[in-house]
Amino acid sequence: MKKNTFYILSGCIALVLLAVFWYSVEVHNPLFIEIAFVIGILIAYLARKKVTDLIEDERSTKITEQAVLRTFQIFWVGFCAFSIGAVMQILYVPQFPREFFFTRQPEIISPRMMGYFQLGLLCLTIFLYVGFRMYYARKYGEWETDEE
Amino acid sequence: MKNKIKVFRAMYDLTQEDLAQAIGVTRQTILAIEKGKYVPSLELAFRIARYFKVNIEEVFTYDEESRTVDEK
């Protein structure tokens, strides 16, 4: 498979996922988009293996590894901090006299808002990854020009 | 890590693209190695040296002062 064919296929997968997402919202069943998302990503991974002219060497692999590592190092802290806070709010059952610890009732974020926030964090991660990838690509000479 | 890839390429009259294709990497990787932006793995260093039919020390020399990009 040619590199451009793979990009076209990836675009098609994204469009199908968008359609399935819309359908899932319409029928109010998240199972469709969840299963479709996993299948879509699997197809993309398998198709990538079939690409013949996509040259990936140890330098590009290192750029990807470094970018993923740094992104994950930042992402997991923020994501865990929010998720722990969210779980704490869901499990909020005061065991001690409240006046002793709180002067007022803490505001509970709705589970829907927690979902939106976590989705937002995931989207932010993509930008973070792109930023780190650009940084490491520059560091390892991706856009160097030669005098040949 | 200093290297003499450019010198060897000139000796063999090779372009970066030719060398890249011969050892199975991208041209950008050869360029990055030549400019000292990327330190190749031991395996790739050996592949380059073997291609020019010389010992690895003749192509790559460890320079204490200019440490690897990662360490900076």
Give ipTM to 2 decimals: 0.82
Give the pLDDT confidence score for residue B39 in this predicted structure: 93
B43, part of any domain: yes
CB atoms B28 and A141 under 8 Å: yes
Give the pLDDT confidence score for residue A79 in this predicted structure: 87
B24, part of any domain: yes
Domain span at residue B29 reads 2-59
B49, part of any domain: yes
B65, part of any domain: no
B32, part of any domain: yes
Minimal Cα–Cα distance from A148 to chain B, Å? 8
Query: Residue B67: which pLDDT band, with cuts at 50, 70 and 90?
Result: low
Which spans in A28-110 are helix H? 30-50, 58-90, 98-101
Give the pLDDT confidence score for residue A54 in this predicted structure: 64
Contact of B16 with chain A, judged by CB distance below 8 Å, is answered with yes
Tens of pLDDT, residues A1-18: 888 898 999 999 999 999
> In this structure, are residues A71 and A134 in contact, taking their beta carbons and an 8 Å threshold?
no
Q: What is the CATH number of the domain that holds B35?
A: 1.10.260.40
B70, part of any domain: no
Give the pLDDT confidence score for residue A40 in this predicted structure: 96
CB atoms A59 and B28 under 8 Å: yes
All residues of chain B having their beta carbon less than 8 Å from the beta carbon of residue A142 are 28, 32
Both structure tokens of A118: 């976590």
Contact of B15 with chain A, judged by CB distance below 8 Å, is answered with yes
d(CA A74, CA B15): 41
Tens of pLDDT, residues A42-76: 999 999 888 887 667 899 999 999 999 999 999 99
Tens of pLDDT, residues A98-147: 665 555 566 667 777 878 888 888 889 999 999 999 999 999 988 777 75
Q: Is the pLDDT of residue A92 over 80?
A: no
All residues of chain B having their beta carbon less than 8 Å from the beta carbon of residue A146 are 16, 31, 34-35
Q: Is the pLDDT of residue B45 over 60?
A: yes
Query: How many distinct structural domains can be found in chain B?
Result: 1
CB atoms A59 and B26 under 8 Å: yes
User: A145 to chain B: nearest residue by CA?
Assistant: B31
B66, part of any domain: no
pTM, to two decimals: 0.74
Contact of B26 with chain A, judged by CB distance below 8 Å, is answered with yes
d(CA B41, CA A65): 15
B69, part of any domain: no
Give the pLDDT confidence score for residue B25 in this predicted structure: 92
Average pLDDT over residues B17-38: 92
What is the dihedral angle through the alpha carbons of A94, A97, A103, A106, rounded to the nearest 10 degrees? 10
d(CA B35, CA B5): 10
Q: How does DSSP classify residue B67?
A: -
d(CA B34, CA B62): 14
Contact of B24 with chain A, judged by CB distance below 8 Å, is answered with yes
Query: Residue A91: which pLDDT band, with cuts at 50, 70 and 90?
Result: confident
CB-closest option in A58, A141, A146 to B44: A58
Half-sphere exposure at residue A73, Cβ-oriented, CA atoms within 13 angstroms: 7
Q: How far, CA to CA in Å, does B38 sit from each of A47, A105, A139, B42, B45?
A: 30, 56, 8, 12, 12
